[in-house]
Amino acid sequence: MTKLGLSQSRRIVEDAKAKLVNVHQAKTTLSQLLQDVEHGEEVVIARAGTPIARLVAWSPPPRTVAAPGAMRGQIDTADDFDEPLDALFDALQ
């Protein structure tokens, strides 16, 4: 991992419009940082001035819906699926 100078790290974080915090500060103020993230802010956690992690809001992946007919040929239906079930019920008595 390349070690960046503090001014270079700050410039990278400023370009990303993120808040830079060190590991100790992140541990002691995690609840506040999570609130900041919930309000749309991005937080970069650094060790000795070098960014190592980014804390961003989680967003669920988009749900994909299969196109009509996408499973054509993958589902088989028995030839007798619509036959009366009388014989089955007779067997249970």
CA dist., res. 61 & res. 90, Å (int): 50
Judge residue 8's burial from the number of C-beta atoms within 10 Å of its C-beta, 0-12 exposed, 13-18 middle, 19 or more buried. Answer: middle
Tokens for 82?
């619509």
Question: Would you state the torsion angle of the CA atoms of residues 66, 71, 72, 77, taken in this order, to the nearest 10 degrees?
Answer: -130
Residue 61 falls within a domain, yes or no? Answer: no
Q: What mean pLDDT do residues 72-78 have?
A: 89
- On the question of pLDDT at 23 being above 50, the answer is yes
CA dist., res. 45 & res. 62, Å (int): 27
Note the pLDDT tens digit of each residue in 54-69. 999 999 988 888 889 9
Domain CATH code at residue 23: 3.40.1620
- The answer to whether residues 22 and 55 touch, using CB atoms and an 8 Å cutoff, is no
Residue 24 falls within a domain, yes or no? Answer: yes
- On the question of pLDDT at 24 being above 90, the answer is yes
Q: Which among 9-13, 68-72, 86-90 has the top mean pLDDT?
A: 68-72
Amino acid at 9: S
- Count how many domains the chain has: 1
Per the structure, the complete domain to which residue 40 belongs is given by 6-55
Q: CA 59, 65, 67 angle in degrees (round to 5)?
A: 150
Tokens for 35?
């609130």
Instruction: Tell me the pLDDT band of 16, cut-offs 50, 70 and 90.
Output: low
